[in-house]
Copies of this chain bind each other. A is one copy, B any other.
Amino acid sequence: MIEVGIIGATGYAGAELVRILLRHKDVEIKWYGSRSYVDEKYASVYRNMFELVEDACLDDNIEELAEQVDVIFTATPQGYLGSILTEELLAKVKVVDLSADYRIKDVATYEKWYQIAHQSPQLIEQAVYGLCEINRGLVNEQTRLIANPGCYTTCSILTAYPLVKEGLIDPNTLIVDAKSGTSGAGRGAKMANLFCEVNENMKAYGVTTHRHTPEIEEQLGYAAGERVTINFTPHLVPMNRGILATEYASLVKKADGTYPTEAEVRAVYEKYYANEYFIRVLPKGECPETKWVEGSNFVDINFVIDERTGRIVMMGALDNLVKGAAGQAVQNMNLLFGLDEKEGLELVPCFP
Contacts and interface: CB of A to CB of B under 8 A. Distances in A.
Residue among A19, A49, A240 with max Cβ neighbours from chain B (10 Å): A240
Contacts of A19: 348-351
A281 to B, nearest CB: 10
B208 A195 contact: no
Nearest to A184: B196
Given A47-B286, A48-B349, A191-B189, A202 B244 contact: yes
Nearest to A193: B194
Given A187-B191, A194-B187, A313-B208, A199 B231 contact: no
Contacts of A191: 187-189
A271 interface: no
Interface in A106-129: none
A350 B12 CA distance: 11
A46 B154 CA distance: 24
A242 B208 contact: no
A47 B200 contact: no
Interface in A178-231: 179, 181-183, 187-191, 193-205, 207-208, 229-231
A207 B248 CA distance: 11
How many chain A residues sit at the interface, stated as a range, is: 35 or more
A269 interface: no
Given A183-B352, A194-B193, A238-B238, A244 B199 contact: no
Nearest to A310: B229
B196 A315 contact: no
Nearest to A52: B348
A280 interface: yes
A295 interface: yes
B208 A304 contact: yes
Contacts of A187: 191, 194, 196
A238 B195 contact: yes
A138 interface: no
A275 to B, nearest CB: 12
Interface string A280-299: 10110011111111111000
A27 to B, nearest CB: 13
Interface in A297-352: 300, 304-306, 308-309, 311, 313, 315, 317, 346, 348-352
A56 interface: no
Given A238-B195, A282-B50, A289 B201 contact: yes
A153 to B, nearest CB: 17
A34 interface: no
A350 B201 contact: no
A83 B204 CA distance: 41
A144 interface: no
Contacts of A349: 19, 48-49
Given A23-B346, A49-B349, 12 more contacts: A48-B350, A50-B280, A183-B352, A195-B195, A200-B241, A200-B291, A200-B294, A201-B242, A202-B237, A204-B244, A204-B313, A229-B308
Q: State the 4 A-B residue pairs at the shortest beta-carbon distance, nearest first.
A: A201-B291, A48-B349, A196-B352, A195-B198
